Structure 1
């Protein structure tokens, strides 16, 4: 079984993604085949993992994924030398009401996979006191092993000595200390990091992270601290495809696809036919289903409004076969999208949905949906688990509700999705069939 570690933190914003990318690239450059994973429903970080490691990164989510699927995905490391997972938020942060196999916390994944955790701790504004945080994390849940810490944003050699002395006093291992470097931060926008495909110098930047990590972290000691994780099951569980030939929108406006979803579709023999709405391409004429994933349509609304060939292809397809949109794809199927400047852009018009970014409101959280109507290849009555994260506001939604949707607490949410004929859309991104 492949040894692995999880890079996690006490909270968001500590610099764990920079550490993760630097380690992935450093290991790859050393000739180590390293399999990346991301805990939780994140569709941006995995693209950076792939750029750093050369391997597709898979999400592992304990709230929405059944145990057999988690183990199946962990099996993607079986042909690798090392597994490295990046946590989300704080290590123990999850929802109050557990889902399929846990509450969505990174600790759930570390525990199930048997991966020790390395905490990235931001020590700016403190020194020995950081040890109290590390000690608390090491004792909070005895079933989760804290292998040690990487100190981040260290101000000076003296600051490092003081922080290390605190860790030594409570027996917490320090794998390295990273000096404060403001130039190593990746730019962000409202859903997190700016997409990997939008960085023309990304490979150079990741190389700089690797050099930085090599200079300040004992990478050999990290590898020695890893332990073998679970082995992939003999009877793997993958998401089944909703159709045989799937026309999938893929470009800078529509890029939020989960690797495990695409892998499941391909393993079941489905053919994925990519096309670019931004290039005004039509979906394949012989596709059984058109699937528009999420992304940033609001940043490209003008071009999408002028993509007449794309719109005509959708209309023709919807006359005889299903079309589905997730989040950004859902908005692109509507009547109009109002950007952050208040300008309204004409969308495909297959649904009556009108959304606005001029009236921003964050919608975030796990979702469970029971379909009232068929959605692509999913039958009416099917239950799906997913996640919603966007800042758009619904101004108009005249079509019938697609599903009964609840949050992680079982409370109904108003973003039910909608349908008109063979066209469907949801604001949540599907992760797995719900139990």
Structure 2
């Protein structure tokens, strides 16, 4: 297995993404082959990883994915694997899933990859070492290789913080200044998407230069380790069809790379189309898939696209169409934007949603299908993740699934479906499918 590291911290917002992108860029500038990963369910960070490393970033999810799938996805030829964690190192849900509770520490333990902690030392000195020491001692199966200090205010501040880490016998692998000038823009679901970030290459090059100047890259590379476990064969997730019309543009971009990779490995052909460009699905496709994204930011444009509406309407009469989150909302009757204006959507389902009444819906989901969706039969159990701010005003169609959260509590967002007159079927869910459930 490729030697790797997990980049984590004590909490969200400590600078993991900025450091991870800078590290990838710095190692790539050394002509190293860097394989990026993201621990947990996230679409936005991996897109930035892909640009920084020059390789597609894959998600490794301990709650939704079985160990065999994680090991298989992580088995990539590269000089080093860099996996960015989510939230704090051991943060996850209360009830374990396929491999663990969804914590980054679960991936570190399974893969045998040491952890580099990013520690925001704002308002701290020696006490920062106590936080890192607590993380290092919390689980024996997750090894902490060292720390990178973030937002260091001055040389005196750095010296005091380093004194604490010397006392705790935890290596300091770098110290990033407070005014590094490499912050990334954000919006309500996290960072602005990579494809929307102006002059991204320049920003990543700057991040790489900052990390190279303030971190010991040789020590970081030397800390990487390869796990002892060999990849195990896991059953590929069946594709939703053999010719898949896949919506893909700035409004519909949230699709997990491992799913696309698995579909292609099963022999499926992906046929991308752009709803924003008023394109309908390829008529040679045998199914249509609308991923999540930001339809609320483009609702007026989508509502005006007559070619899209007619094309997907004809397609849905005879073939299956499925939407996830943003794609589900686009398949509905209407969407009210943040300013309170209603926009007519594709009208293939009766769903009405609103962003004028924002409510965060976040968490893992386990669904048992009450109706089939492309690639999965009635009764199939699917693991996924939900993250959106939309409010359901009306969902008149038949429920698609029985859905519960990671603790087994029922969730009202069941998704919905309806049959078309010509034998086709339209379905949608608010959760993003990650993997089939085995537990």
TM-score normalised by structure 2 residue count = 0.97
RMSD of the TM alignment (CA)? Answer: 1.0
Give the conservation status (yes or no) of the 8 Å contact 1:376–1:424: no
Q: Secondary structure at the match of 2:292?
A: coil
Q: Which runs of 4+ in 1 moved over 6 A?
A: none
Equivalent residue, structure 2, for 1:19: 19
Counterpart Cα distance in 1 of 2:232 and 2:131: 40
Structure 1 residue 232 displacement after superposition? 5.6
Give the conservation status (yes or no) of the 8 Å contact 2:128–2:161: yes
Structure 1 residue 200 displacement after superposition? 2.3
Counterpart Cα distance in 2 of 1:300 and 1:130: 44
Q: Secondary structure at the match of 1:352?
A: coil
Q: Which moved more, 1:420-429 or 1:375-384?
A: 375-384
* In the alignment, structure 1 residue 241 sits paired with structure 2 residue 239: yes
* In the alignment, structure 1 residue 382 sits paired with structure 2 residue 380: yes
Equivalent residue, structure 1, for 2:428: 425
Equivalent residue, structure 2, for 1:81: 79
Counterpart Cα distance in 1 of 2:348 and 2:143: 51
After superposition, the C-alpha distances for 1:157-203 in whole angstroms (9 at most, x for unaligned) are 00000000000011010001000026311011111000000012001
TM-score normalised by structure 1 residue count = 0.98
Q: Secondary structure at the match of 1:94?
A: coil
After TM superposition, the structure 1 = structure 2 runs for residues 383-422 of structure 1, keeping only pairs within 5 Å, are: 383-421=381-419, 422=425
Equivalent residue, structure 2, for 1:331: 329
Q: Which runs of 5+ in 2 are unaligned?
A: 420-424
* In the alignment, structure 1 residue 343 sits paired with structure 2 residue 346: no
Equivalent residue, structure 1, for 2:182: 184
Taking structure 1 as reference, are residues 230 and 39 closer, same or farther at Cα in structure 2, changes over 3 Å only?
farther
Paired residues in the alignment total 433
Counterpart Cα distance in 1 of 2:96 and 2:108: 16
Counterpart Cα distance in 1 of 2:275 and 2:228: 40
Q: Secondary structure at the match of 1:95?
A: coil
* In the alignment, structure 1 residue 366 sits paired with structure 2 residue 364: yes
Structure 1 residue 239 displacement after superposition? 2.0
Give the conservation status (yes or no) of the 8 Å contact 2:71–2:232: no
After TM superposition, the structure 1 = structure 2 runs for residues 153-302 of structure 1, keeping only pairs within 5 Å, are: 153-181=151-179, 183-229=181-227, 233=231, 235-302=233-300
Counterpart Cα distance in 2 of 1:274 and 1:364: 28
Equivalent residue, structure 2, for 1:10: 10
After superposition, the C-alpha distances for 1:334-391 in whole angstroms (9 at most, x for unaligned) are 0000000000000000000000000000000000000001112311111110000000
Q: Secondary structure at the match of 1:369?
A: strand
Q: Which moved more, 1:377-386 or 1:147-156?
A: 377-386
Equivalent residue, structure 2, for 1:141: 139
Q: Which runs of 5+ in 1 are unaligned?
A: none
Give the conservation status (yes or no) of the 8 Å contact 2:238–2:375: no
Counterpart Cα distance in 1 of 2:308 and 2:155: 58
Counterpart Cα distance in 2 of 1:234 and 1:413: 33
Give the conservation status (yes or no) of the 8 Å contact 1:298–1:339: yes
Counterpart Cα distance in 1 of 2:372 and 2:139: 43
